[in-house]
Amino acid sequence: MTAHVRNAADAGASVLSVRNISKAFGGIKAVDDVSFDVNSGEILGLIGPNGSGKSTLFNCILGQLKPDQGEVRVNGQSVAGKRACDLNKLGVGRTFQMLQVFPQMTVLENIILAGQEHQGTMFTRLFGPSDAGLTEEAAKLIDFFRLGHLRDELAGSLSYGQQKLLDAAMAFMAGPSLVLLDEPAGGVNLTMLENLKERLVAFNRERGSTFVVIEHNMDFVMSLCTRILVLAGGRIIAEGTPAEIRSNPEVIEAYLGG
């Protein structure tokens, strides 16, 4: 069984380490020598104006782009050359900017799918139980995200906000040590947003999960994250708690001055 509750002794250890990452596209440096660490249990916000290199950095971390130099390690292992599924097996969960659920499968099936590849072997997945022994655990997670009443509905028939919750829940199913959330607030209305934030915070507290969040919505980031990195022109220009960032003149300059 996958342990959702991480060992308390791990708290504070580096889950993600980014070292001197640079990436240029045709002479323009999208990411320029960026380094930072994310410790266990943290919710790290990654913000910056459009074109500041957030997405490029994100893709480098996820192994989708090969950085020109530098290295990304998750739990001490390099992500270089890893496919998305390998990275997931390494303990990295993620969501996408655009909503990504499986509309023709039920909520329960969506969640089971998100966990099943971490259970047993190819062989047991073919000849073992059809839910890979995950129904109970999946139901718990669904309840946690307050989708219990929709368990057997097709994911495609859910409202946008509910799908967004499901989307996030899937990223957590396999008990990842690190979850990367790409603009989780995008397109979500205010009430839904509160709900989503509240659940994410609760999850972080109860299970000690580590998040990295890219987000434009300042209020959302400020109230969710424990630490924030500000990216501008491919470099980290500020780092600190939400309160520090809010009052940092360089950040204000980057956003307003451009």
Q: Residues in the site for other proteins, rule: CB under 8 A?
A: 64, 83-85, 88-89, 93-94, 96, 100-105, 109, 112-114, 116-119, 125-128, 130-132, 146, 149-150, 153-154, 157-159, 161-162, 170, 173-174, 191-192, 195
In the complex with other proteins, which residue's Cβ is closer, 144 or 236? Answer: 144
In the complex with other proteins, which residue's Cβ is closer, 194 or 206? Answer: 194
Q: Shortest distance, CB of residue 247 to other proteins, whole angstroms?
A: 34
Q: Shortest distance, CB of residue 223 to other proteins, whole angstroms?
A: 19
Q: Shortest distance, CB of residue 242 to other proteins, whole angstroms?
A: 26
Among the listed residues 141, 154, 149, the one whose alpha carbon sits nearest the alpha carbon of residue 101: 154
Instruction: Evaluate whether 179 touches 93 at the Cβ level (below 8 Å).
Output: yes
Q: Shortest distance, CB of residue 148 to other proteins, whole angstroms?
A: 11
In the complex with other proteins, which residue's Cβ is closer, 51 or 240? Answer: 51
Rounded CA-CA distance 208/235 in Å is 29
Instruction: Evaluate whether 37 touches 212 at the Cβ level (below 8 Å).
Output: no
Instruction: Evaluate whether 14 touches 60 at the Cβ level (below 8 Å).
Output: no
Question: What are the angstrom distances between the C-alpha of 33 and each of 62, 68, 160, 229, 230?
Answer: 17, 10, 38, 14, 14
In the complex with other proteins, which residue's Cβ is closer, 54 or 82? Answer: 82
- Residue 175, SS3? coil
Q: Shortest distance, CB of residue 158 to other proteins, whole angstroms?
A: 6
DSSP secondary structure, 211-238, as one string: EEEE-S-HHHHHHH-SEEEEEETTEEEE
Q: Shortest distance, CB of residue 150 to other proteins, whole angstroms?
A: 5
In the complex with other proteins, which residue's Cβ is closer, 65 or 228? Answer: 65
In the complex with other proteins, which residue's Cβ is closer, 52 or 110? Answer: 110
At 250, list the tokens. 């360089």
